[in-house]
Amino acid sequence: MFRFLNGVIVLPDQLLRDGEVVTLDDRIADVGPAVSGSCAGLSLVDLEGGYLLPGFIDLHVHGGAGADFMDGTAEAFRTVLAAHACHGTTSCTPTTTVARHDQHIKFLELVRTFRGRSGPRVLGAHIYGPYFAPEARGCHPANSVRNPTREDFEPYLAFAEHIRTATVAPELAGAEEFVRACRAKGVRCNAGHSHATFEQVEAAIGWGVTHIDHLFCAMSDRARLRQAQTYPMRGGVMEATLFFDQLTTEVIADGQHLAPSLLKLAYKAKGPDRLALVTDAMRALDRPDGEHIFGPLDGGEPVRRMGDVGVTLDGKALASGVMGMDHCLRTFIAATGVPIPEAVRMATLTPARIVGVDNEIGSIAVGKKADLVVTDAALNVRRVFVAGRPFVD
What is the structure's pLDDT at 141? Answer: 85
Q: How confident is the model at residue 189 (pLDDT cuts 50, 70, 90)?
A: very high
Strand partners, 209: 189
Alpha-carbon torsion, ordered 7, 8, 9, 11, to 10 deg: 180
What is the structure's pLDDT at 35? Answer: 81
Confidence check: pLDDT of 393 > 90: no
Give the residue-averaged pLDDT of 127-131: 94
According to DSSP, the β-strands at 56-61 and 318-321 are unpaired
Secondary structure element (H or E) that encloses residue 267, with its range: helix 260-270
What is the structure's pLDDT at 38? Answer: 62
What is the structure's pLDDT at 41? Answer: 83
Are the C-beta atoms of residues 69 and 94 closer than 8 Å to each other? yes
Peptide bond into 232 cis (omega under 30): yes
Question: Length of the chain in residues, anyone?
Answer: 393
Q: How far apart are CA 178 and CA 175, in angstroms?
A: 5
Strand partners, 275: 249
- Helix, strand, or coil here: 80? helix
According to DSSP, the β-strands at 2-5 and 43-46 are parallel
Q: How far apart are CA 373 and CA 80, in angstroms?
A: 18
Confidence check: pLDDT of 239 > 90: yes
What is the structure's pLDDT at 334? Answer: 98
Confidence check: pLDDT of 166 > 90: yes
Strand partners, 236: 197
* CA separation, residue 191 to residues 181, 214, 219, 335 (Å): 15, 10, 9, 26
- Give, as one character, the DSSP assignment of residue 48: T
Q: How far apart are CA 283 and CA 67, in angstroms?
A: 5
Q: How far apart are CA 384 and CA 393, in angstroms?
A: 7
Q: How confident is the model at residue 73 (pLDDT cuts 50, 70, 90)?
A: very high
- Give, as one character, the DSSP assignment of residue 166: E
What is the structure's pLDDT at 230? Answer: 87
Secondary structure element (H or E) that encloses residue 238, with its range: helix 237-243
Q: What is the pLDDT of residues 240-270, one digit of tens each?
A: 999 999 999 999 999 999 999 999 999 999 9
Q: How far apart are CA 326 and CA 329, in angstroms?
A: 5
According to DSSP, the β-strands at 309-312 and 301-306 are antiparallel
What is the structure's pLDDT at 37? Answer: 64
Give the residue-averaged pLDDT of 201-208: 98
The residue among 13 and 37 whose pLDDT is bigger is 13
Confidence check: pLDDT of 316 > 90: no
Q: What is the mean pLDDT of the chain?
A: 96
Q: What is the pLDDT of residues 21-54, one digit of tens each?
A: 999 999 999 999 988 766 678 999 999 999 999 9
Q: What is the pLDDT of residues 301-312, one digit of tens each?
A: 999 999 999 999
What is the structure's pLDDT at 143? Answer: 87
Q: How confident is the model at residue 315 (pLDDT cuts 50, 70, 90)?
A: confident
Give the residue-averaged pLDDT of 47-66: 98
